[in-house]
Each structure stands twice: as C-alpha cells, then as structure tokens.
Structure 1
Amino acid sequence: MSSFSILRATASFLAYPILRSRLPATSNTGLPRDEESQVGSHVPKQIEDYPRGYPRMAALQSSDPTFTMFRRFALLHVRTLLLAQDEICYLEEQLHDIDEKERTQLYLSSRVYDENSERQTVIREIKTKLREYDDDLDRFFKQYAYHEPTPRSLQSFRGWMNFTKPLIEPEAKFIQSTDFVSPPHKVEEGYLEELVEILARKSGIDDGLLKTERERRQSSDPDLHFYSIRRRRVVARIILTTVACSTLLIPTAVLFIVPNRGARLGVISIFTVLFGSIVALITQARRHDIFAATSAFAAVMVVFVSNIP
C-alpha cells in the first residue's frame, strides 16, 4: 500500500467523529430529534385547535360519521342527464336519416366498405356521448346506495355551522339544502341507537356511559358531543336483548295467571301487536322480516297456551 493511501485512510478515520458530532441527532423515524419533536408538537389535538374556516369544518366532518355528509346535487345530476339524453336522441335521429337516405346498399351492409363519412362521424360522436352518458348514469345511481343523514344529525350539523360560522355567508348557504347523503353504515343501526344517545344525554350519564377518553378529547366545545360507536352499540344490544326477553317472559307469566281461555287469547293478541311494533320501530327489519318474526311469536304463544291445563 502506498504512503498516500495510508495518509488518506488515517485522515478519514480521524475526521469521522468530527463530522458525526456536527450532524443533528436522529431518531428511529429518520428525522432529526428536534424536527421530530416540532412535528409532533404542532399536530392539533382538538377540533378547536384547527383554524376557523374550512380547516375546522373539515376536522369536524372527518371526526365522526354523524357529521360526514355532503350534498347529492340530485337536481343537477338529473338535469345534465336529461340534456345528455337529448343530445343522444338527436344523434340517433341523424343516424336514422343518414341510413334512410343512403343509396348504396353495400355501405349499409358492410362496415369495412362503408365510405359514408357523415355516418362514420355521427357514429363516433354517438360512441363518445354514450360513454359519457353511461358513466354519469352509473355514478348517479350509485349515490342511492348512500344513506340520508338522520334529521337529528343534520340539525346538529346546522347548529354547529350557525354557531361557529366557519364560512362566509355565501359559501355557507349549502347547509340549508335537504339533499345530503352520508356514507353507508358498516353494521345495522336503527332508531334504538339514537334513542340511547337522547336518553343518556338527558339523564346526564352520557359522558361516562357512551364516551371514552378519545371522544372526550375531540372537542372542548361543551355543546359538541362525540360518542363511542362501540359503546353505543353495546348499550343498544343490551337494551334490545332485555326487551326481547321481556316480550317472551312477561306474557308467559301472565298466561299462567289468567285462568280464562278467552282472556288468554286477548293477552296473546296484545303482546303480539306489541312485539311486532317493537321490531318495526327499534330495528331496521324489512317488511317480510317483521311479518315472519311476528308470526313466529304468535305461534309460540299459541302453542304455549295449548299446553296449559
């Protein structure tokens, strides 16, 4: 090894600690520790930490599915679809007229030998218009898979908008519309979950019953409430299970007490109507499901009565 190579290697070895001491310290994320602490310290923790305007409004609507709603613009969608439909109808008439006026049978009987440039231009335009029309029609129909926000959710969002006023008045007029849509629920939710929220809030137990630490930290506004979806569903299922058991056990006990057969039939009729009403009101069961469940309940009660001496 030459003396020059040895000197260069020695200089690099001695310079490494000096360069290392001048480099900023880094963490496991690859960022300098000072920058990493600055990044973490500037992340907003609550909705009110975002600047008032579109940033705070976006924070609210992304924080909970209750506030995630946007306009459907159904009228404008239908209007543009109608105009596109008329354009295609006009092109359809044009193509029909061109075919009627065609004097060369070969042009009508062959795509390869068709030399009518006017017809080819109209067909290309029809293909373009149909592709746009089909895409718009498909997107519009997909919107009906979305859910409409509940009146209570829409009222809460409007109340927050009117109180906070994040937008200037011309840009906040959309909140008075009625064609809002929300994302579909991942699991079944009915009126029972909403009733749980209302009763818990009025009784003052919503903070301990329906909120976790995450929901409590989401906002410092005392009028803005966020509830744990999991806790709300658990409470609703407990109530639903209790009601379902009660609708079976209570009439069973009453039927044991009532000695008259006619009175027993009256008890069965009353509790059957009550059971069907509960299924229809606090669940999202479809019509045939309600009919099947009510019929099964009545059949169980009748069989039970027939076995009572």
Structure 2
Amino acid sequence: MEPHDGAQTPPTPPANGQHTSYSSDNSTVRRTNIEIRDLESQSPKTVDRNFRRFLGLSLPVPANLDDIEDDLAESEDGGPLDCQSIDDHPNGYPRLAALLNSDEDFLICRQYGFLHNRVLLYRQDELRELEQKLLVMDNITQEKDDTMLKCRMREERETDERRALINRIDDKLREYNDIVQRTRSFATLQRAMKRNHTSVWNWIHNNAPLVQAEASTFNQDRDFVAIVDAREGGWFDTLIEPALSKFGGSIGRQMFIPKHNRSSTSDKLVRLYSKRRINLFSRLIVTFLAAVLLMAPVIALFVTKERAGIKILIIFLFTLTFSVALSTCTKAKRHEVFAATVAYCAVLVVFLGNIGGPQQ
C-alpha cells in the first residue's frame, strides 16, 4: 500500500508477510443462565451461573470434550459462544470494526493532536480579540460617564452593546473550554504501542478493507493513542506473545488461543491469544524470577569465602537487579520501588551479618 501524499511512511511489514495479532478476553455478551431439572418434578429450572459459583455449586458436565472446551472458554474468557466471527462481517469498515473489537490491544485511534491545537489556538485568539474590545469599551465608557461602569442597569437602559459583547464572550468561552477539555482528555491517553499499531496496519495492508486514501489514516503511527490503558505487566506480556508466535508452535496455539478465538477468522496470520492465559503465564514467570532474586544472592553469600568486599559487591549487584526488575515488570511508583529496594537490601545485609558473626 502506497502512503498518502504528505503522510508518514507506514511501518514495513515483515519480509515473509507474516502478521501476528493478539487477543482480548473481553466480550460484550455473555450467557449467564443454565438450565437444570428439579429433583422432584423433573421440570426445567433456570439457574444463574454466577449465583451457582457464589454458592460453590458445580456446573453441569457437557457431553463431549468439545463442549467442555467451549464452556471453559466462555467461563475463562468471558466471551459468548455464539458471537459473530470476524469473517462473518463483509470486507470493509464492518470487518475492520470487528477486528478492532476482537482485542483490547487493537482499540487505538488517532489523537489528531495537530488539529486539536489548531482549534485551541484559534479559539484562544478569538477570545483575545473580544477581550480587547471589552477593554476599549470600558475605557470609552469611563471617559464619557464613569458612573455607567458602576450601574449595569443604567447602562443597559441606554445601550445594549456591552450585553451583546458579554454574551459573545460567554459563547466563545464555552467553545474554548470545550476544546481545552477535549485536548486534555486525548493528551492523557497513552500512546499506542508500535507493535499494536503495526499489527492493525499489517491486517489492513494484507486484507485491503479500505480504499487507499482512507486507509492512509493508519499511516500516522505517532498520532495513535490507546483507548484502553495497558494492564500491569503489559510490557512483559509483549515479550511473551512474540515468543509464543515464533517458538510456541501448535502446542502454544492450543494452550494460549481459545477455540472460539481460533475459529473467529480463517486468516492464519491472525492469532488471537487469550489475555487471561498470557497474564497467568507471565505471573508464573515473575513469581519464579522473584524467588530467584531472593535465593540466588543468599546462596552466593553463603558459599563465597572471599573477603567482605566481594560479598558487598554481590549485594549491590542483586539489589540493583531487583530494583530494575521491579521498575520494568510492574507499575510500581517511585516511592514503592524505593521502599521495596531498601527492604530487599536490608534482608541481604542482615543475612550477611548472620553468616559473618560466627566466623568473627
């Protein structure tokens, strides 16, 4: 797809044309009622799924493994079993909307920051002009009759010019405040990750749902923002998903892509991973790394027979590694990172003192 004139050059698709996408667990419709039979009358009764889970009651067991997987996918991912797939929609804006709706990572839009600021500057200068007119009117009125500025009713009996100007200023202030709030709301949104924008652009490039002029909107990658804030560990998840695409194979797709996501599109280049399963897998990895960061320095200090300077260096390196991992893999604030790092270092120093005491 050729870039539109004046547009930023779009990201270059991979050499092999492969496009990898990622999925969300969220859905707009969910079946929450199931049907059971009364033990005495054997008449069907509708029971809410959430109520049964609250009471700790088990759900009816499906008759075959496919039904079990479908029911598991519904309860785990929160998605409807009978929802329309991406391919059910005609190619064009309908299918593009279905793709964006299939994953929260695809919920991106243009900020139009340049246009917001142009309108903001225009409204701002309109108010400057009206402000100047009001100040000139005040000076003229003061020279003619300064009592007119002390009594609004007296002035309005003679002329309605000031009231009309004030009403115009009020209208422009509303427009100005509106554009300020809109600009602020878009400015607070996080910039869309380049990987998510590239996935959407690759799909548009490969499937051509839009004409060239309208598809060029997606070429402005630096102007796109994420509608949904990234979850905790989102940065770490972005490392896991490409690894699954490259090295996971069929086993990885079976484990991390629910059945209803696999059947949502016939495009083999689109892989809609389960956010819940990816999140669980990343939590397991982070838990393992946390245990390693705690036990590795303890073992290193215990087996090291070198002088105290080497042991202090070990504590420093592992404390630094812990602080970096906490800052990059979580959304901890600065004071939380500082407090956790101090506590981690204190544990290692106390252990060093305990193993050094008997030797001294």
TM-score range, shorter chain: 0.7 to 0.9
**Looking at both structures, which has the greater relative contact order when contacts are Cα pairs under 8 Å and sequence separation is at least 6?**
2
Equivalent position of 2:177 in the other structure: 134
Q: What one-letter code is carried by the residue in structure 1 that aligns with 2:181? A: D
For 2:260 and 2:323, the matched residues in 1 are separated by: 38
The residue aligned with 1:74 is: 113
Question: Aligned Cα RMSD in Å?
Answer: 1.7
Moved more, 130-139 or 72-81: 130-139
Residue matched to 1:159? 202
Distance 2:258 2:235 in 1: 22
1:182 is aligned to 2:226: yes
Cα distance per residue 1:68-94 (max 9 Å; x no partner):
111010000000000000000000000
8 A contact 1:46–1:220 mirrored in 2: no
- Tell me how far 1:144 sits from its aligned partner: 2.6
Say if 2:233 and 2:329, in contact at 8 Å, map to a contact too.
Answer: no
The partner residue of 2:135 within 84, 96, 108 is 96
SS for the counterpart of 1:285 is coil
Deviates more, 1:273-282 or 1:68-77: 273-282
Q: 2:273 matched to 1:227? A: yes
2:305 alignment counterpart: 259
Matches of residues 141-220 of structure 1 in structure 2 within 5 Å?
141-177=184-220, 178-185=222-229, 187-204=231-248, 205-220=251-266
Where does residue 299 of structure 1 map in the other structure?
A: 346
Deviation above 6 Å: which 4+ runs of structure 1? none
Answer whether contact 1:197 1:206 (CA < 8 A) is retained. no
Measured after TM superposition, the shift of residue 49 of structure 1 is: 2.2
C-alpha distance in 1 between matches for 2:279 and 2:151 = 65
Q: Where does residue 87 of structure 2 map in the other structure? A: 48
Name the aligned partner's letter for residue 168 of structure 1. Answer: V
Q: How many residues align?
A: 267
The structure 1 residue matched to 2:149, chosen from 108, 123, 136, is: 108
CA distance in 2, matches of 1:296, 1:104: 74
Residue 150 of structure 1 deviates from its aligned partner by 1.1
Q: What's the secondary structure of 1:226's corresponding residue? A: coil
Between structures 1 and 2, the one with greater helix share? 1
How far apart in 1 are the matches of 2:258 and 2:234? 22
8 Å contact kept, 1:190–1:284: no
Distance 1:283 1:45 in 2: 35
Question: Offset of 1:158 from its aligned partner?
Answer: 0.9
Specify the SS of the correspondent of 2:154. Answer: coil
Q: Which residue of 2 aligns with 1:85?
A: 124
User: Could you say which residue in structure 2 is the equivalent of 1:7?
Assistant: none
Is the contact between residue 46 and residue 219 of structure 1 (CA under 8 Å) also seen in structure 2? Answer: yes
Find the counterpart in structure 2 of residue 59 from structure 1.
98
Paired letter, 2:102: S
Deviations 1:184-220 (A, max 9, x none): 3374233111111122222224313322223212222
**2:136 partner letter:** D
CA distance in 1 between counterparts of 2:241 and 2:201 reads: 19
Mark the CA change 1:142 to 1:192 in structure 2 (over 3 Å): closer, same or farther. Answer: same
| Normalised TM-score (structure 2) | 0.71
Partner of 1:25: none
Distance in 2 of aligned mates of 1:206 and 1:88: 60
Equivalent residues of 2:109, 2:227 under 8 A apart: no
Q: Distance in 2 between matches of 1:299 and 1:147?
A: 36
- Alignment match, 2:323: 276
SS at match of 1:188: coil
Deviation at 1:290, TM superposition (A): 2.7
TM-score by length of 1: 0.82
Distance 2:257 2:336 in 1: 33
State yes or no: 1:237 paired with 2:283: yes
Q: For residues 107 and 189 of structure 1, do their structure 2 counterparts lie closer, same or farther at Cα, with a shift above 3 Å needed?
A: farther
Q: Which runs of 5+ in 1 are unaligned?
A: 1-42
User: 1: CA distance between counterparts of 2:244 and 2:95?
Assistant: 27
| Corresponding residue SS for 1:114 | helix
